[in-house]
Structure 1
């Protein structure tokens, strides 16, 4: 893995399998008659928007979502003019003109955004496309039911706007039996009736697996595209899209009573071989993996010992052949058998956080 000069100079190498991302998109798109979008927020969940978005466009994806306006502006030149880009947070105050200038469609989440987008349409003298997000119970994004009732009491509440999507977001889709799923779908059905004929979207990655009642006209997968399991507790039906390898910096023998790492939290019992590896929390490798994470060397799983520090961490490589544990040798941290979800479980978090934290110091390879 660590073959090129650039890779050798870096502490670790992150490999992104664009073929896996494309295969995941095909699989998700085939699950419904609805169109399938792709969520690009957080730099395509840490994998790299500049590489991932064109690959998905080649796969036939024409609808993309970002969280922030600046992400949408970055994404626009990567895609053809026939691709729609929605900005989930809508335009921040005073930026509606930037949103329109770059051909982006805002997701309007509150009356203030709606009024500003209408004002821009009047100033430009032309109709502007918009997505309307409805809050169906998550209390995070979307026009609240009371605000929607007040807005729609004015017959001209959408003057100058052309709604092209009405949407909401599921809070508990990764728990199929949770009653919140059905409750949100019922509220969405009731609230979206105020926008008859407008295409609808409710299903995120896990929501796609809730079945056709949740599919509507547009699917919005994010994490599932990148290999995170959309059905926790069940086998992952999707392909992992990343692998991560770091380098051994040095190897030493620690004797009984020696400590490894900051804070003296790991005390060696007996003689142990300790490899220091060039990855730490400055690279996005979670500090909560201290004493809990694992790595793989030559097919053998080895534990993280001591605290994960800023640029390095320790592995107990006792029993691994010396020929496999030399300075410069590679250590697998993410791969087919150490999945993003496995690492997340060890760190006490979710795969989303593991992926989106993967840092800029890695040498990145795309295949």
Structure 2
């Protein structure tokens, strides 16, 4: 089916006006969720929709996963949960940041499940249900990341507390692996053992441990509800493992000008020198669009020995030269046939031809950050799920 277009605000570009565009393959998104279901072997597999669906649009991603069969969703904030509830009335939505004082109304009004992350939040939740209302919650246990969650010993004490109020009966326990992207890391097994101890103490309760990377090490980590995130969006979950997931997002930028420059001249801020006579394509993309400054050459933040990023133009890889600026980036197209690159052409920054993992590596970051940093200046093209 041909792409359809969706714009959050009337000020966003439409076809022909765009300086940069994102093509989002919803069939690949659905296929990636199904692939994680098969890999996990779980009867239920959730989908994580944090950060506006990892930058691709929460509503489009939510509908796509729901159509594919997902009925459990994780978001970061109650506001994200409220947005998702408006389009998916029949699913369970878990809010990973939990319930804090002042947020209670959103959880009750939009039927959101708070993931309780601290003793302070537990007090807030207990006060919110003190009128006898029956509302589910999840308990987050910190098994080794020292981020959110009750300490293991506190969770065990809560499980064995005979005086625990009957109104506090979590439907699920949750923890998060710190090093799942390194399958051989010893902390993975330690966290698994600690989490199992808490699950056994609560007796007959659902549990969720595996994120995208946590699904790959094996079924010991899966528990009843795996919750993949980055892998669904085509990202790499495990270090050193070529991702089996399909690319979902392709980012492209318009070429505004093609110009000739002589050896010894320089390009961009900081005056990166040219070693040869060069043909340079100026693309309408920059760090204001989430195309990071560290992708370019001559930036002090760049890791030593890692080359600058490249793009793909007319099927050929072309290197980025000079520094990425707010709105513009230089690409060296000298090795392409003269006249083959013209203003109005589009260069792929990452996606189907240029793996997002390679671009993230060039930036000294991870694909999570690239996806969630995408700005609102792109024209977004959603390719519908193929029937």
> Which of 92, 110, 122 is the matching residue for 2:118?
110
Bigger CA drift: 299-308 or 330-339? Answer: 330-339
- Paired residue secondary structure (1:188): helix
How far apart are 1:134 and its partner, in Å?
A: 0.5
Flag the 1:158–1:170 CA change in 2: closer, same or farther, 3 A: farther
Flag the 1:302–1:180 CA change in 2: closer, same or farther, 3 A: same
> Which of 71, 81, 85 is the matching residue for 1:76?
85
How far apart are 1:212 and its partner, in Å?
A: 0.8
Q: CA RMSD in A?
A: 1.9
Contact 1:97 1:120 in 2 (8 A): no
Structure 1, residues 101-129: CA drift from partner, whole Å, max 9, x if none? 11000000111111111111113x21210
Structure 1, residues 281-308: CA drift from partner, whole Å, max 9, x if none? 0000011001301011111111111110
Q: For 2:194 and 2:55, locate their aligned partners in 1 and report how far apart those are by CA, in whole Å.
A: 33
Bigger CA drift: 247-256 or 26-35? Answer: 26-35
Contact 2:115 2:139 in 1 (8 A): yes
How far apart are 1:153 and its partner, in Å?
A: 5.8
Which 5+ residue runs of structure 2 have no aligned equivalent?
Answer: 6-12, 298-307
Q: Which residue pairs with 1:267 in the alignment?
A: 273
Q: For 2:342 and 2:162, locate their aligned partners in 1 and report how far apart those are by CA, in whole Å.
A: 73
Flag the 1:288–1:115 CA change in 2: closer, same or farther, 3 A: same
* Greater share of helix: 1
How far apart are 1:335 and its partner, in Å?
A: 2.4
1:288 partnered with 2:294: yes
Q: For 1:348 and 1:204, locate their aligned partners in 2 and report how far apart those are by CA, in whole Å.
A: 22
> Which of 258, 261, 279 is the matching residue for 2:265?
258
Flag the 1:202–1:256 CA change in 2: closer, same or farther, 3 A: same
Q: Which residue pairs with 2:196 in the alignment?
A: 189
- Give the number of equivalent residue pairs: 364
Q: For 1:313 and 1:27, locate their aligned partners in 2 and report how far apart those are by CA, in whole Å.
A: 36
Q: For 2:54 and 2:165, locate their aligned partners in 1 and report how far apart those are by CA, in whole Å.
A: 33
Q: Which residue pairs with 1:232 in the alignment?
A: 239
Contact 1:34 1:219 in 2 (8 A): no
Which 5+ residue runs of structure 1 have no aligned equivalent?
Answer: none
Greater than 6 Å deviation, 4+ residue runs: 1-5
Q: Which residue pairs with 2:340 in the alignment?
A: 324
How far apart are 1:346 and its partner, in Å?
A: 1.0
Q: Which residue pairs with 1:58 in the alignment?
A: 67
Flag the 1:165–1:69 CA change in 2: closer, same or farther, 3 A: same
- Paired residue secondary structure (1:122): coil
Flag the 1:66–1:2 CA change in 2: closer, same or farther, 3 A: closer
Contact 1:118 1:159 in 2 (8 A): no
Bigger CA drift: 200-209 or 89-98? Answer: 89-98
Q: Which residue pairs with 1:278 in the alignment?
A: 284
Q: Which residue pairs with 2:329 in the alignment?
A: 313
